[in-house]
A and B are shown apart, each in its own frame.
Chain A
Amino acid sequence: MRIGRLPARKARILTIRYLGAGAVTLLFLFPVYWLFMISFKTPDEIYHVPPLWIPGQIQFSNYYVLFKDGDVLAILNSLIVAGVSSGIAIVLGTLCAYSLARFGTGGENLAMWIISQRMIPPIAVVFPIFLIYVYFGLVDGYFGLILLYTAFNLPYVIWMMRGYIVDVPLELEESALVDGLNRWEVIWKVVFPMVRPGLMATSVFTFVFAWNDFLFALVLTRTEVITFPVMLTHYFGGQSNFWAKIAAMSVLGTLPIFVAVSVMQRYLVRGISLGAVKG
């Protein structure tokens, strides 16, 4: 709302809004700051009473330990699994979405069935999937997790991309077809450039979903393909929480998401809101 025509009042409101914005941001980022700081502390500083708000010096030994012990492989596993699965989900999902949007394949029923797949709670399917995976020897391998995350993300990609593709004016495609382009060329040269922002946002979210998954990874990994959230919970243990490791691992594991989200920042709000409003 734009209230107040007087400049003085306007300035005061703006000041109050900045104070509010600063307070809210501080409040929400403080835990992140705390985690970040712990990752740089020495054990003495971590277990200091009262807690230290600023580490004496920035030291990287907590990170060094993760590299030395090979724990960072969990990050690598997560990158492979989340990256490959969201890549596949984006390609297959976008094709499917195009077909649903432009040819009306399967009608409204197929679209509804696809989105209903998304509503099934993971806990309800993880157990039968586990049994089937044990039977086929897919537990603790890349393929099993990639297949699962692809399936998990497909409904989201299809639903999002269908929305974006429907928004592309049909006339553009028709005139391109008349000009002699075939269907694939039309998709690649006409539709793809127009839906690229949506595609970017969707890609980030599929990656984040796969990256953050804990339940499936907990159940379907053992020793070979441990992903980063599962690795993190290995550090928990009664009194002896390895806080230095937890903090350093958390920071490392949040970095890729932070990078992805920062790069795609301008597409994200639109992506979230469209996903929610149209879904």
Chain B
Amino acid sequence: MALSASLNAAEERKPSRLGRVLEDRLPYLMVAPAILILLLVGLFPLIYSLIVSFQRITMTENDTSFVGLLNYAELFKDTRLWTSLGHTAIITVIALPLELLIGFLMAQLFVDRMPGRQLFVALLVLPTVISPIVAGATWRLMFDVRFGPIGQILSFFAGEPVRILWTVNPAYVYPAIIICEVWQWSPFMFLLLLAALSNVDQSQLEAAEIDGASYLRVLRGIVLPAIAPVIAVACLIRGLDLVRIFDIIWALTEGGPGSMTETISLYTYVQGFSQFETSYTAAISFLVIALLTLITTLVLKRMELAR
């Protein structure tokens, strides 16, 4: 209010000067609102959370005295935490290469122009853009032991009734999660790699073809080096997403049976919102941030080296 009033006053007196002042400050004026929101919603909670993590606030107690690194020391003794990190790692390490491979094969299939390609690509985008919760719900329906089609299809091929309790049986619950995850995100890899493959230098490929180079040689010598940066970025994006996987597991298993499929995000959620271990949850959050920062830095370093 005060600002606009003074601006109006300035305008009445010397419009040209105001114009100049605004023009001078324009770069900052344009940046300000966005930065303000990011500070407010991004940085402020982090700082607040950092303070809380050095206190001892729980559902029953509101002990705001500082206890140093006590909460962080607790992290090391928390076996459920480390188990959940293990679950996260298993899913990431299996799903990521699968998504990359399937995405690459799909991209290979569509890289040359063919009538109707646009339509295929448009349809194949669908799994990637729907909500992960919908993806999880869909596969929960698909996997159902009695009313789902997966069992029926498997029975058809096996020649005998196959009854698998996908989301309950410990042996099948990870395959179930990974199938859903790979189904949803392979098309994402596909889109990225399709764009990358389309940009590979055609004259190089033609030259290799004239030389009679085998498919694998062309792949190793020309195609892979050309698309390596995109592969690296795609893996980074998907890797970070997989490490914080939450929605799909929530919809499929809710972390169960027991806490068999509890990932670090689910565990953090449980600590924060059903146990209400406020300070401890804050400490876990910073562990997660530290881990992700470490991974990102390592991957980015490798990318720099590869260049």
**Structural contact, A2 and B149, CB atoms closer than 8 A:** no
Within the complex, the shortest CB–CB distance from B163 to chain A, in Å, comes to: 11
Check: A147 CB closer than 8 A to any chain B CB. yes
- Check A154–B37 contact: CB distance below 8 A: yes
Verify if B87 is at the interface (C-beta below 8 Å from A): no
Q: Which A residue's beta carbon lies closest to that of B102?
A: A24
Asked whether A232 lies within 8 Å of B134 as measured between CB atoms, the reply is: yes
Q: Which of B40, B127, B132, B296 contacts A212 (CB 8 A)?
A: B132
Report yes or no: A233 in contact with B251, Cβ–Cβ below 8 A: yes
B33 near A1 with CB under 8 A, answer no
Are the C-beta atoms of A233 and B37 separated by less than 8 Å? Answer: no
Of residues 248 through 302 on chain B, the ones whose CB sits less than 8 Å from some CB of chain A are 250-251, 254, 264-265, 268-269, 272-273, 278, 281-282, 285-286, 288-289, 292-293, 296
The answer to whether A28 touches B124 (Cβ under 8 A) is yes
A120 to B289, CA, bound (A): 7
Q: Which residue of B lies closest to A121 (CB)?
A: B244
Q: Give the residue of B35, B142, B191, B268 whose beta carbon is less than 8 angstroms from that of A273.
A: B191
B192 touches A123 (CB 8 A): no
Closest residue of chain B to A208 (Cβ to Cβ) is: B129
* CB closest residue in chain A, given B126: A32
Q: Which residue of B lies closest to A23 (CB)?
A: B109
Q: How far is the CA of A279 from the CA of B236 in the complex (A)?
A: 11
Residues in chain B near residue A21, CB distance under 8 A: 109-110, 114, 117, 120
Q: How many residues of B contact A (CB 8 A)?
A: 97
User: How far, in Å, is B266 (CB) from chain A's closest CB?
Assistant: 9
Q: Which of A29, A121, A123, A158 contacts B123 (CB 8 A)?
A: A29
Residues of B within 8 A of A48 (CB): 147
Q: Compute how far the CA of A130 lies from the CA of B48 in the bound complex, rounded to whole angstroms.
A: 11
Chain A residues with CB under 8 A of B123: 25, 28-29
Contact with B along A238-256 (1 / 0, CB 8 A): 0001010011001001100
**Complex interface: chain A residues within 8 A of B233 (CB):** 276-277, 279
Complex CA distance for A72 and B26, rounded to whole angstroms: 43
Q: Does A76 contact B (CB under 8 A)?
A: no
Are A128 and B40 neighbours in the complex by a CB distance under 8 Å? no
CA distance A258 to B126 in the complex (A): 7
A226: Cβ under 8 A from any B Cβ: no
Contacts of B37 in A (CB 8 A): 92, 147, 150-151, 154
Known: A1-B215, A125-B42. 4 other contacts (CB 8 A): A3-B209, A93-B34, A229-B247, A265-B118
- 8 A-B residue pairings within 8 Å (CB atoms): A31-B139, A96-B31, A120-B46, A128-B285, A132-B45, A154-B37, A258-B126, A268-B125
Interface residues of chain A, those whose CB is within 8 Å of chain B, are 1-3, 14, 17-18, 20-21, 24-25, 28-32, 34-35, 38, 46-51, 53, 92-93, 95-96, 98-100, 102-103, 105-106, 110, 114, 117, 119-132, 147-148, 150-152, 154-155, 158, 183, 208, 211-212, 214-215, 219, 228-229, 232-233, 236, 241, 243, 246-247, 250, 253-254, 257-258, 261-262, 265, 268-270, 272-273, 276-277, 279
